[in-house]
Structure 1
Amino acid sequence: MYTFTGFNRRRVLVYATSLAGALALSGACQAADQVVLAGYGGSIENAMQEKVIPAFEKKTGIKVSYVVGTALSNYSKVVAARNSPEVDVYWSNGLTHVAGKQQNLYEKLDPGIVTNLSDVYDSAKDPDGIGVASYVLATGIEYNTKAYADAGIAAPKSWNDLWNPKLKGKVALYTFNVAYSQDLLVIMTQLAGGTAKDVQPGLDKLKSLKASGNLTTFSSTPAELDNIMVQGQSWVTVNGSARAFILKNQGAPIDFVFPKEGAGFFTNYFDVVKGAPHPKAAQALVDFLISPEAQAAIAESTVTAPINKKTKISDKLAAEVPNGDEIAHMIQIDRGIMNANLDKWASLWNRQIEGN
């Protein structure tokens, strides 16, 4: 849901195009009082099926068909049926949201129907009014609390704490195929005074982390990194807040820090498909999905921050997700530039960071 591996611009376009005309939504409803939502599985599906969808159906009388898939597989369905859409609302991620906008696959939100937009944080709104963030999590610092305590190291507060000389051989990062390392490169670039148009300052910063002897481990999957961190083989990494707090809530000696310079803004999006078979119902569904009621259910099930300012969440969750002020000051990443340059960045990363 939060972590997408193996994504790059070429893969999105090739994978989606290769399936065009071959994919269809079996059993997807077409009646006027129904709407099709293509979303994710796992705990988020449970929250949708048990809480969010029944509440929407009760309120509006509109039935929801929930199609489960990954961001990429569902995106391929949207592309395949672009001339005769079968999906009304697609739950995209940062990459497929941008790619779909570039291919003119999504409709603008109608503020006359999606009235909850007025209560959404500005940073969670699409600048072109196409789609809206579904929740917010942070790209920040995850660390092993037991290892830090045993070594007498204070909890990290800053991105610069990754360079602590007491962390020799104890810093791990994802390989570049995982989204959080892609975001980290842009974050380091911006903190070094650069922009996403030229990520060399960020690469230089990370090269210095490796040269210091701190960065020695790269993990290609979230499960692998989880194991390395929980077992204490590595003591600190860069990860998504939701993943870190899920481990913490399972009893692992793991905690998460929102760096004082700002954590990275990470989200998925609700997009209304252009030419959707049920356009008004689609807009109404998005309006409900960003309502305080739905946002609370989604946030609690995903350990993420709601994007509606009026959402009430538990004290426990509030301590684990970015608050309103933190959301407003999170480091924004230009997904358009990222989407256009991922292949190039991957080559640079592999040569300059992992290859040395």
Structure 2
Amino acid sequence: MLGKINLTTDGRKWIVGLALALCVVVMGIGVTSAQADGVLKIGVYGGYFKDSFDKHIFPDFTKDTGIKVESVAEPTGEAWLVQLEQAARAGMAPADLSMMAQGPMLRGQRTELWAPLDLKLIPNHKFLLPQHVHKYPDGRVDGIGAVSWYITLVSNTDEFKTAPASWADMWQDDKKNKLGLLALASNSFLLEITAKTFFGGDDILNSKEGIAQVLDKLAALKPNVKLWYRDEGQFQQALQSGEIPMGQYYHDVAGLAAADGHPVRSTFPKEGGVLDSGSWALSKASKMSKEAHIFINYMCQPHIQAKLSLKVGTAPTVRREVTGLTDAEFASVSSDIAPIIPRYDLYTGELSDWVNQKWTEMVTE
């Protein structure tokens, strides 16, 4: 789990990047000297998340391989992507490897920012769940799953004595004005949730007509929504108090709230939780490809993924049966129910502007 941190701010914001504190990275400074010294520069989400890697991951990697690591606190999303692209045009890499969210991974493909990875040099990729091997459209591998986390259906146990079984419960009449949902199409993944729950899967999202049908179903949810939230802390406080007794939230943080005695439960609906993730991506400007491959292979080891689950609170990117986690340990971060995988193409591809416009018009306005 994410440790004893401020549940309303630090834990999830550093991991997901919904409200990251931006750090200033001066591009190019120290890059040449770091490479000359054989230091692998690795960008990870800042704050508690970076602190956890600095404490639990990087020292053991250096001890096991002899490769020195310099960690770089990165913002997620567009800010870090822009810095990497600008630096790459100058032949420099503020970080050799970066932990990238899936939207920026796809956007980076447009400029071929990511150096292709050689799976023969990453034999431990055999342990990965298939969705954690990220590829260019032509099949070249450009990313390997670093960490993942779940969005689930959360509820206040004082207000709802019985756990909800399905995402469809949010549409029920007794939920009027009782839901808190993430405000954006691209971070709530409610299009995918609705498609899986009512339309048998996400194939319906392959066309404008299909997306419009899903949006119509989502629009029917509006009377039940009390808060479309951007501030996680605002929703969490309302969830804990019972003011907003149901909604979608991050499984690990909800678990911490419950462990601290708050009347909060996190449920994996029968349709699955939403599995979001970050990938290791290698800048095309990096001169440390060999060392980067060694690090990625190291991170794909089942016991390392188990350590991340126990120390950082992320869901393993490898198959459950190889992790050695107990049922309780696994349940604290993940589920055996097949997950809902976000359709990142909807938010980065040619339909992205249209999707965002229709989302605002039909759902959140």
| More moved, 329-338 vs 61-70 | 329-338
Counterpart CA distance in 2 for 1:252 and 1:305 is 23
Distance in 1, matches of 2:158 and 2:311, equals 27
SS at match of 1:108: coil
Give the match's secondary structure for 2:35: coil
Among candidates 57, 62, 65, match of residue 52 of structure 1: 57
How far off is 1:281 after superposition? Answer: 0.6
Structure-2 separation of matches of 1:232 and 1:307: 34
CA contact (8 A) 1:295 1:306 kept: yes
Contact 2:170-2:179 within 8 A present in 1 as well = yes
CA contact (8 A) 1:136 1:306 kept: yes
Aligned with residue 226 of structure 2, among 216, 230, 241: 216
Superposition map of 1:241-256 within 5 A: 241-256=251-266
The correspondence for 1:267, drawn from 251, 268, 277, is: 277
Once the two structures are superposed, residues 74-129 of structure 1 have per-residue CA deviations (whole angstroms, 9 ceiling, x without a partner) of 32321121131322101000111111122211122212221110111112222442
1:334 pairs, out of 316, 327, 343, with: 343
Aligned equivalents of 1:266, 1:125: Cα separation in 2: 14
Residue equivalent to 1:203: 215
Report % sequence identity: 21
- For 1:308 and 1:156, locate their aligned partners in 2 and report how far apart those are by CA, in whole Å: 28
What is the identity, as a one-letter code, of the residue corresponding to 1:298? L
> 1:166: how far off?
2.1
Give the Cα–Cα distance (whole angstroms) in 2 for the partners of residues 110 and 76 of structure 1.
Answer: 25
Does residue 27 in structure 1 map to residue 30 in structure 2? yes
| 2:47 aligned residue (42, 47, 70) | 42
Preserved contact between residue 163 and residue 214 of structure 1 (Cα < 8 Å):
yes
Identify the match of residue 144 of structure 2 among 118, 124, 132.
Answer: 132
Alpha-carbon RMSD across the aligned residues, in angstroms, is: 2.4
Paired residue type of 1:240:
Y
In 2, Cα distance between the equivalents of 1:133 and 1:196?
25
Assess if the C-alpha contact under 8 Å between 2:122 and 2:296 holds in 1.
yes
Mapped partners of 2:36, 2:45: distance in 1:
23
Please point out which of 177, 185, 203 is paired with 1:169: 177
Equivalent residues of 1:113, 1:287 under 8 A apart: yes
CA drift at 1:349:
1.8
Q: Does 1:63 align with 2:68?
A: yes
Distance in 1 (CA, whole Å) between partners of 2:317 and 2:18 is: 25
2:167 maps to which of 145, 148, 159: 159
Q: Is 2:118 aligned against 1:115? A: no
Decide whether the 8 Å contact of 2:167 with 2:197 is kept in 1. no
Counterpart check, 1:3 vs 2:16: yes
Which whole-Å CA distance do the structure 2 matches of 1:301 and 1:42 have between them?
15
Indicate the SS of the match to 2:118.
coil
CA deviation vs aligned residue, 1:286-323 (integer Å, no higher than 9, x gap): 11122223312322233221112322335443122324
Counterpart-to-counterpart distance in 1, 2:178 and 2:35: 54
Change (3 A) 1:239 1:288: same
**Separation in 2, partners of 1:140, 1:202:** 20
Aligned residues: 332
Distance (whole Å) between structure 1 residues aligned to residue 207 and residue 171 of structure 2: 25
> How far has the Cα of 1:39 moved from its partner?
0.8
- For the pair 1:77 / 2:83, whether they are aligned, the reply is yes
Structure 2 match to 1:106: 114
Q: Answer yes or no: is the 8 Å Cα contact 1:230–1:252 preserved in 2.
A: yes
Contact 1:108 1:130 in 2 (8 A): yes
Alpha-carbon deviation of 1:339?
A: 1.1
Q: Secondary structure at the match of 2:88?
A: coil
Asked if 1:257 corresponds to 2:267, the answer is yes
* 8 Å CA contact 2:101, 2:279 repeated in 1: yes
* TM-score normalised over the length of structure 1: 0.85
